[in-house]
Structure 1
Amino acid sequence: MTQKTRSATACSIHSSFLPHTDAEASLAFYRDVLGFEVRLDVGGGQMRWLTVGPAGQDTAIVLHPLFEGNGITPEENATLAALIAKGSYFGANLAADDLDATFAALVAAGADIVQEPIDQDYGLRDCAVRDPAGNLLRIQQSA
């Protein structure tokens, strides 16, 4: 059997970015409901950036504020905010060791449920929720 070797230029996923509209609500959701650890909490007020991730993994999600500037006009910012609120702009796919227990915790926390756990035609069992900003999160049962 041949072992795969990692190329000197191979990369791994370090972090992905999702916008937040309320840092405290996002922090409570990702930390207290999903069980992510807080790795960084910088800034303040509307300019607060949170880095969260699953314990024992190197990957992270950076929750960042929407802001104007750097070429983004107030009108574009309003469009982005509207897309985020309805869950059609950003999102992430997560996995849970116990999808039913995770789903029950989401329901108990009052999460915005989009889809209850179901067996998909493509072989996964998953559910879907929106985080406090509206970002769509699909959570599948770990293999």
Structure 2
Amino acid sequence: MDISLQYSHITVNDVDAAISFYRDGLGLKVENDVSSGEHRWVTLGSDIQPGLGIVLSDPHAGRSEADGDAMQELLTKGVLPMTVFSTNDLEGLFEQVRATGAEVLQEPIEQPWGPKDCAFRDPSGNMVRLSQR
């Protein structure tokens, strides 16, 4: 028996703004865009990890109003879990993401525990870290 991660969800306020960050900044490609009423689920992926999708959706997508409101509150506070990506060209990807106008939280530095990494906020305030492979 084997197991692998298929999807990871990132809650965002504005799916289109998030697509620009994750596609244009990080270089992911849009693989699927599904709408249901006023909600959308957009799956992005990378040729480096085929079969793994990052799904963007708004706080109320697929949730009750109360749960969506709770997610919105957490998103607004900026306390949803961070997402960490790795790359073989941290400096290059840092500049590519910075060119999108994303908020830089930390420029590339060598961390005392090992990796060289940097950090941004996506357009919804989610922390995204990039680590050198």
Q: Indicate which of 9, 13, 16 corresponds to 1:24.
A: 16
Contact 2:60 2:69 in 1 (8 A): no
The 3 A distance-change label for structure 1 pair 135 and 81 is same
Contact 2:106 2:119 in 1 (8 A): yes
Q: Could you tell which deviates more after superposition, 41-50 or 108-117?
A: 41-50
For structure 2, list consecutive stretches of 5 or more residues without a partner in the other structure: none
Q: Distance in 1 between matches of 2:94 and 2:62?
A: 38
Contact 2:25 2:96 in 1 (8 A): yes
Q: Indicate which of 40, 43, 47 corresponds to 1:48.
A: 40
CA offset digits 1:26-79 (Å, max 9, x no partner): 111111111101110111674011000112412111111111775551xx5444
Q: Does 1:124 align with 2:109?
A: no
Question: For 1:61, what is the secondary structure of its paired residue?
Answer: strand
Q: Distance in 1 between matches of 2:29 and 2:5?
A: 17
Normalised TM-score (structure 2): 0.88
What is the match of residue 84 of structure 1? 75
Q: Distance in 2 between matches of 1:23 and 1:17?
A: 12
For structure 1, list consecutive stretches of 5 or more residues without a partner in the other structure: 1-7
Normalised TM-score (structure 1): 0.82
Where in structure 1 do 4 or more consecutive aligned residues deviate above 6 Å? none
Question: For 1:140, what is the secondary structure of its paired residue?
Answer: strand
Q: Distance in 1 between matches of 2:29 and 2:62?
A: 30
What is the match of residue 54 of structure 2? 61
AA matched with 2:19: L
CA apart distance, 1:81: 1.9
The 3 A distance-change label for structure 1 pair 118 and 135 is same
- The count of aligned residue pairs is 132
CA offset digits 1:8-27 (Å, max 9, x no partner): 2x211111011111111011
Contact 1:85 1:135 in 2 (8 A): no
What is the match of residue 130 of structure 2? 139
- Percent of pairs identical after alignment? 36
Contact 2:25 2:98 in 1 (8 A): no
Root-mean-square deviation over aligned CA pairs: 2.0
AA matched with 1:17: H
